[in-house]
Amino acid sequence: MKKQKKGKRPPASKNVSKKASKKAPAKVNKKPAPVMASILAPILAMTEEEIREQLGRAAETLQAGKAEEALALCRSVLAGAPDNTEALNLCGVAAFHIGDAVEAVSLLQTAVTFRPDFADAHNNLGNVFKAMETYDEAEMAYRKALGVWPEYISAEYNLGIVLEAQGRFAEAEDSYKKCVTLDPGFAPAHFNVGNVAKALGRLDEARAAYRKALDIRPEFAEALNNLGTVEMELSNPQDAIHAYRRAIGVRGDFADAHYNLGIALQEESEFEAAIASYRKTLEAEPAHAGAQVNIGYALKELGKLDEAVEAYRQAMVMSPDYDKVRANLGDVYLQMGDPEAALEVCDVYLGDHPGNISILAFKAIVLAELGRPEDVRVLYDFERLVRPLAVSAPEGFDDMAAFNAALCEHVLGHPSLVYAPKSHATRFGRHSGELLAEPKGPMGGLEKTIMAAVEDYRRDVPPDPTHPYLARRPERLGLSIWGVAMDSQGHQLAHIHPSAWLSGVYYAKVPAVIGDDDPTHAGWIEFGRAPDDFHSSKPPEVKLYRPEEGLMILFPSYFYHRTVPFEAPDIRLSIAFDVVPGEYSGIQNN
């Protein structure tokens, strides 16, 4: 479960493999650029050797960044030789570079129609489709290129990018590793191996891959930045700070590195230095709302509350939909003793963003501060909205004992399991990455069980226009699952799941010491208590549930929840999940 920490968003990882997919599709011009008659006329009578020379000049011109000139040269060749596939390929690339994706696709498709074994044209066609974010077509084009030339490293690398962009991490990793096998000195492939491992929570592998990329290319700024984010997750802030500063030394205007450096310094309570880094971020990227929010957080920690309010208000102008800034601003008002102002912040935002998870969670805190327990109970309607249920063993398992044993073995042996990642709420325990990545093993059975329970929840807790959570709900759902193995003194800090709609937990292994007769409720899950760093003074009304092996609990994602610390010689293993808005495809990363 991810820790919801105020004043920050997760460190930004610069992933060069996704540059095309992050941009808007290429501008499409319906009309091709006119062909100049003065160029056309003499080319019509060119010999084959002269055409080759002309295409060589076009390639050099394109390489020099003069795409329109290259396009005209290639079209002049096509006027006399319309089936010249080299000219069609170059012309397609030039058209793409001037923003005419439709023309580029037409030219490249014509090239591969005339010459089906033209691997470069297939690869270039894939690049155009990738930039347009039509990933199925891009994947098909790259696979055709590889069908012609199985060791075509550029096509294999590009295929990995497309697979990664679709969340198909295992397949993407295979492609990147093939690239590394073909060329061990290919630094971007090592970098992307690291990105995939990082996305799957395999932090040690990610760190090793980034370091390999840096052995090959020491000035690889994106690899330095991402190495820093991994070091932060592994609770090595000084190593992270060093990596970020090296990245900035390579590229002084690297906004993500300045921002991440600010977060690392903030974690070390170096708030003035953090503010300086955030201001550098804004110099490089003036619309970076996260940096502006974190300036507000650092000012609040320095006791400069009026300046913090102004910083948050600037962030609201920069990013009106950014919910975290509203919660942070409201908390400053609570600290200033003005809960009415904090409530107004919540209500104004919820008026435009009904059902927002972060603000519903914060509003419950504000209502408690205002002495309105009945209104808090409307939001924290435990009896109605929290659903514990005992599940049955899925197909393929003799009983629940066998199913739980398989789940424990899978989680404890998972390559992504690491000790207490910095950005998560887990303390004195281990936390996995995405468990729906292949091979799923017993997670396939749990996945079906969860989705069946979610459908039952939706049926049993119908829409209610009078309730701020039930008035709106997603019709399409995605799912993300991860495991938490807690050791003695293990617990989770109070947190929410802001990217989800419904959340839940399944207990696969519970130590015998966690029982009904413990007045401290050690090891139990507790709902309703806000994190310590919010300025709430009223004792909350809470609801506790005792974990049992085979028990699943579903709850709204805005319910603050934590695990009460426990002492035991054995581990407590739970599997948490988020039901997120989106098309259900078996895996959604948050």
pLDDT class for 236, splitting at 50, 70, 90? very high
Which CATH number among 2.60.120.620, 1.10.3720.10, 2.102.10.10, 3.40.50.720 corresponds to the domain 385-581?
2.60.120.620
Q: Which residue has the higher pLDDT, 94 or 515?
A: 94
Cβ burial, residue 18 (10 Å; 0-12/13-18/19+): middle
Q: Is the pLDDT of residue 34 over 80?
A: no
Distance of CA 375 to CAs 53, 113, 393, Å?
Answer: 79, 67, 39
Check residue 590 and give its pLDDT. Answer: 35
pLDDT, tens only, 78-88: 988 899 999 99
Which residue, 380, 382, 545, 389, is CA-closest to 455? 389
Q: Is the pLDDT of residue 4 over 80?
A: no
User: Which residues, including other chains, have CB under 8 Å from residue 254's CB and lie 6 or more apart?
Assistant: 14, 221, 225, 247, 248, 284
Distance, CA of 146 to CA of 179 (rounded, Å): 12
User: Which residues, including other chains, have CB under 8 Å from residue 47's CB and lie 6 or more apart?
Assistant: none
Question: What share of the chain has pLDDT > 70, as a percent?
Answer: 89
Q: Which residue has the higher pLDDT, 173 or 539?
A: 173
Q: Is the pLDDT of residue 531 over 60?
A: yes
Check residue 190 and give its pLDDT. Answer: 98
Residue 498: CA count within 13 A, CB half-sphere: 19
Length of the chain (residues): 590
Q: What is the DSSP letter of 429?
A: E
User: Which residues, including other chains, have CB under 8 Å from residue 144's CB and lie 6 or more apart?
Assistant: 112, 116, 122
What does 379-409 look like in DSSP terms, one character per residue?
A: HS-HHHH-EEEE-PPPTT-SSHHHHHHHHHH
Domain spans in the chain, listed from the N-terminal domain onward: 385-581
H helices of 319-399, where? 323-335, 339-352, 357-369, 373-379, 382-385
Check residue 587 and give its pLDDT. Answer: 38
Distance, CA of 261 to CA of 282 (rounded, Å): 13
Residue 234 near residue 208, CB atoms below 8 Å: no
Distance of CA 298 to CAs 31, 96, 255, Å?
Answer: 53, 45, 18
Nearest 5°: the CA angle 118, 119, 120 is 95
Distance, CA of 290 to CA of 282 (rounded, Å): 10
Check residue 11 and give its pLDDT. Answer: 42
What are 7's two structure tokens? 């004043």
pLDDT, tens only, 182-199: 999 999 999 999 999 998
pLDDT, tens only, 46-92: 778 888 888 999 899 998 999 999 999 999 889 888 999 999 999 99
Distance of CA 53 to CAs 56, 60, 360, Å?
Answer: 5, 11, 67
Residue 418 near residue 494, CB atoms below 8 Å: no
Distance, CA of 550 to CA of 381 (rounded, Å): 24
H helices of 115-165, where? 119-131, 135-148, 153-165
Q: Which residue has the higher pLDDT, 583 or 256?
A: 256
Residue 144 near residue 122, CB atoms below 8 Å: yes
Which residue, 559, 484, 496, 495, is CA-closest to 532? 495
pLDDT, tens only, 240-266: 999 999 999 999 999 999 999 999 999
Check residue 26 and give its pLDDT. Answer: 32
Q: Please list the helix, strand and coil fractions of the chain in percent, rounded to the nearest 5, in that order.
A: 55, 10, 35
Check residue 48 and give its pLDDT. Answer: 84
pLDDT class for 515, splitting at 50, 70, 90? confident
Q: Is the pLDDT of residue 94 over 70?
A: yes
Which residue, 81, 48, 47, 54, is CA-closest to 70? 54
Rg (CA), the chain: 28
What are 312's two structure tokens? 């948050």
Query: 401 phi and psi, to 5 degrees?
Result: -60, -45
Q: How many CB atoms lie within 10 A of CB 473?
A: 16
What are 482's two structure tokens? 């991860």
User: Which residues, including other chains, have CB under 8 Å from residue 105's CB and lie 6 or more apart?
Assistant: 92, 125, 128, 129
Q: Round to the nearest angstrom and report the end-to-end CA distance of the chain.
A: 11
Q: Is the pLDDT of residue 540 over 60?
A: yes
Query: 423 phi and psi, to 5 degrees?
Result: -85, 0
Q: Which residue has the higher pLDDT, 421 or 524?
A: 524
Check residue 423 and give its pLDDT. Answer: 61
Least confident of 158-162, 276-280, 338-342, 429-433: 429-433
Least confident of 445-449, 488-492, 571-575: 488-492
Q: Across the strands, what pairs with 484?
A: 431, 574
Distance, CA of 489 to CA of 491 (rounded, Å): 6
Of all helices (H) and strands (E), which one includes residue 40?
Answer: helix 37-43
Cβ burial, residue 375 (10 Å; 0-12/13-18/19+): middle
pTM: 0.80
Of all helices (H) and strands (E), which one includes residue 175?
Answer: helix 169-182
Distance, CA of 109 to CA of 92 (rounded, Å): 9
Check residue 129 and give its pLDDT. Answer: 96
Check residue 420 and give its pLDDT. Answer: 66
pLDDT, tens only, 120-179: 999 999 999 999 999 999 999 999 999 999 999 999 999 999 999 988 898 999 999 999
Q: Which residue has the higher pLDDT, 201 or 461?
A: 461
Average pLDDT for the chain: 89
Q: Return the top range by mean pLDDT from 19-23, 305-309, 413-417.
A: 305-309
